[in-house]
């Protein structure tokens, strides 16, 4: 299965179903449309995610307190879930609540996720940039 790595807390927000559009400033992920892919939580934590990017969208949707007892909330260096990439397209300002970031500047592309399937437990795995492969035996669902 193909896999992409996201910095935390973005990866957890995908796993929890809060972030259903992953944005990029490039089209390199367009080939993932129509496929089920894995979401890997990188070891890096994006310090700007909450105070500078996602805060207004998290509050508006009632998702502010994401630090829970859920083992997926802060897992790093692990595969958290799989998602079906329904489409790859340009994003607009209307996509901001689902991307948890401002999409109004133009030039961003999004992977639109559907059918998020959380794994039974976060599976440790070394991530990498870009698209990489993971073996199917890692995918034990709840």
Give the pLDDT of residue 111. Answer: 98
Per DSSP, 130 falls in state S
Give the pLDDT of residue 55. Answer: 87
Spatial separation of the C-alpha atoms in residues 126 and 43, rounded to whole Å: 9
Give the pLDDT of residue 64. Answer: 66
Longest dimension (CA), the chain: 40
Q: What is the mean pLDDT of each run of 10 residues along the chain (142 residues)?
A: 95 94 96 97 91 88 64 82 97 96 94 95 89 83 68
Give the pLDDT of residue 142. Answer: 67
In this structure, are residues 5 and 42 in contact, taking their beta carbons and an 8 Å threshold? yes
The ranges assigned to domains in the chain are 2-138
Q: Tokens 């440790």 appear where?
A: 124
CATH code of the domain occupying 2-138: 2.30.130.30
Give the pLDDT of residue 36. Answer: 97
State both tokens at 124.
Answer: 């440790």
Spatial separation of the C-alpha atoms in residues 6 and 115, rounded to whole Å: 18
Q: Say which residues have a Cβ less than 8 Å from residue 52's Cβ, sequence separation at least 6.
A: none
């Amino acid at each position: 299965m193909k896999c992409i790595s996201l910095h935390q807390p973005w990866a957890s927000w995908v796993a929890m179903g809060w972030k259903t559009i992953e944005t990029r400033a490039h089209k390199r992920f367009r080939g993932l449309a129509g496929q089920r892919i894995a979401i890997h939580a990188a070891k890096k934590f994006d310090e700007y995610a909450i105070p500078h990017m996602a805060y207004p969208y998290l509050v508006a949707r009632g998702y502010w307190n994401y630090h829970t007892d859920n083992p997926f909330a802060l897992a790093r260096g692990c595969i958290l879930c799989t998602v079906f990439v329904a489409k790859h397209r340009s994003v607009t300002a209307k996509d901001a609540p689902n991307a948890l970031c401002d999409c109004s500047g133009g030039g961003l592309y999004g992977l639109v996720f559907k059918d998020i399937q959380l794994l039974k437990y976060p599976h440790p795995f070394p991530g990498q940039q870009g698209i990489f492969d993971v073996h199917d035996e890692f995918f034990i669902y709840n």
